[in-house]
Structures are given as structure tokens and as C-alpha cells.
Amino acid sequence: MPARPSPGKPTPEPRTPTPAPDGAATAGAKFTLKTPAGKPYLSAPEAESTVRDLINRVEGETAERAARVTVLPHIQSFAVSGPRVLVDRIAAQPEIASVMGDRPSEDLFIRPTKRREASLSDAAERPADSGSSGKRGRPGRKASRKSSSSKGSPRRKS
């Protein structure tokens, strides 16, 4: 069983942006910055400054310009869309903790099915749900909420 990430720390994602459709030369990704050692987080001005310096450095290295940069300084994150080369180079920078492509990796659309008429005989053929008691209401809930220790005390109103 894989170890659970600790709360408040970004979960490392694969360090590759989502490929652009149809082999296009543009791509986009969301990036999370690493937190410096000995600090719980980057302040908003530090995060903005780090992103600005990182983007300028990578644009200079690749001679490409980002089409769009959105900085979310309070959560140490930013999103970039632009040439594939630029986005890939940003993902490889040491300041980056995690990368997530901006296009879903799988189709999230639930496909419709054929309509069919339901009948009572269909319901009778199905096995009963093992968790239901046959009564209305939430399964597994007792009808009375009072416990033996609270019988003599008045109920509080919220």
C-alpha cells in the first residue's frame, strides 16, 4: 500500500505536461513551487517573484514566449500555456514540486445507454441490496437517537 502524502504538501505528479491534441506545438500545465527548506510556505510576494524569475529565465533559454501565465501566489502555484518546448523546460526546473497537465488524461464523459422499459419482474429478478433493511430512511441508522445516558436530561437547542 503506498504511503499517504502528509496534509499541506503537494502530491508529486508525473513531471510531464499533458500532450497537446493532434500533435500541436502548444501545451499547458499547472505547476506547484517547492517550499524552501526551513520555511512552512512561500509568502505571496515571494511566490510571485519566483514565478516571474522562473518564466523569464526559461523564456530566455528557449527563445519562446508563454501565451498565458496565471499566478496563484497564496497556494504557491501557477499555470502556463504556450509552446510545448517552453512548458517542458519549466517542468524540468528545480523550483517545481509538481506538474499537472491542463487536459484530463481520460475521457470524463459518461456515455448514454439505450433506454429500456423497466418492469416489476426485472426488480424481482435482481438480488436484494445486502445493506438495506427494507425500511425507508438511511441504511444502518437506528430509529431512536437517544442513548441511555441522556434519558433524564433535556435536549439542547442549537
**Percent over 90 (pLDDT), the chain:** 42
The pLDDT confidence band at residue 47, using thresholds 50, 70 and 90, is very high
**CATH fold for domain 21-101:** Alpha-Beta Plaits (3.30.70)
80 neighbors 69 (Cβ within 8 angstroms): yes
- Report the candidate in 23, 12, 17, 105 with the shortest Cα–Cα distance to residue 66: 17
Q: What is the pTM of this model?
A: 0.54
92-117 tens-digit pLDDT: 999 999 999 876 666 677 888 888 88
Task: Give the DSSP letter of residue 14.
Answer: -
pLDDT digits (tens, 9 = 90+) for 60-91: 999 999 999 999 999 999 999 999 999 999 99
Buried/exposed code over 37-73 (b: 16+ C-beta within 10 A; e: otherwise): eeeeebeeeebeebbeebbeebbeebebebeebebbb
Determine the straight-line distance between the first and last CA of the chain, rounded to whole angstroms: 42
Model confidence at 138: pLDDT above 70: no
- Mean pLDDT (the chain) is 76
Region of residue 99 (left: phi > 0; alpha: psi -120 to 50; beta: else): beta
pLDDT for res 25: 78
Where in the chain are the domains? 21-101
- Asked whether the predicted pLDDT for residue 129 surpasses 80, the reply is no
Q: What distance in Å separates the CA atoms of residue 64 and residue 58, rounded to the nearest whole number? A: 8
Is the per-residue pLDDT at 32 higher than 70? Answer: yes
130-134: Cβ within 8 A, 24+ apart: none
Q: With bands split at pLDDT 50, 70 and 90, how would you rate the model's confidence at 140?
A: low
Q: Are 79 and 69 in contact (CB under 8 A)?
A: yes
